[in-house]
Amino acid sequence: MGLRWKEDSRPQRHGWAPGECVHGRCVGLLCRELEDSSFVGAKRAIICADCAYAMPDPVPVDRVQNVVAQLILSNKDKWQQARERPQLLGWFVGQAMKVLGGQADPEEVFEKVMRSVERGAN
């Protein structure tokens, strides 16, 4: 199989970036079975552009929801009280804001707490 080096100007993605370095072997899924999987990319690239673009996008992490879930799990007695008396839900909002260093939108935090109540989180 001949060399498949080609310039690629697509933006950086999943372990590949445009560049002028010739790499000896791509470790991506599409090239795993190829005898010659050399490629051109940035100095630190580990896979070719075709393999990088074949990978699915990562699922974004909802940090606020994770914090709310951890607070519920670590304060089950308070959570039961808050489900019975909704005015106590503010305690969870305040604790989440403290954990998040005040960097989250309080309305978003309250919305996530309310969604947890509606789902019946225990």
Q: What is the pLDDT of residue 38?
A: 80
pLDDT per residue as tens digits for the range 69-89:
999 999 999 999 988 998 999
The residues, any chain, with a CB within 8 Å of residue 58's CB and separated by 6 or more, are none
Tell me the pTM.
0.53
Q: What is the pLDDT of residue 25?
A: 81
Helix boundaries (H) for the chain: 49-54, 63-74, 76-84, 89-99, 106-119
CA gap 81, 26 in Å, rounded: 56
Q: What is the pLDDT of residue 76?
A: 92
Q: What is the pLDDT of residue 1?
A: 41
Q: What is the pLDDT of residue 99?
A: 93
pLDDT band at 6 (very low <50, low <70, confident <90, very high): low
Mean of pLDDT over the chain: 83
Q: What is the pLDDT of residue 2?
A: 44
Q: What is the pLDDT of residue 8?
A: 72
Whose structure tokens read 């010659």? 36
Dihedral over Cα of 20, 25, 29, 32: its sign = positive
Mean pLDDT throughout 104-113?
92
11: left (phi over 0), alpha (psi -120 to 50) or beta: beta
**C-alpha dihedral, 40 to 46 to 49 to 55, nearest 10°:** 170
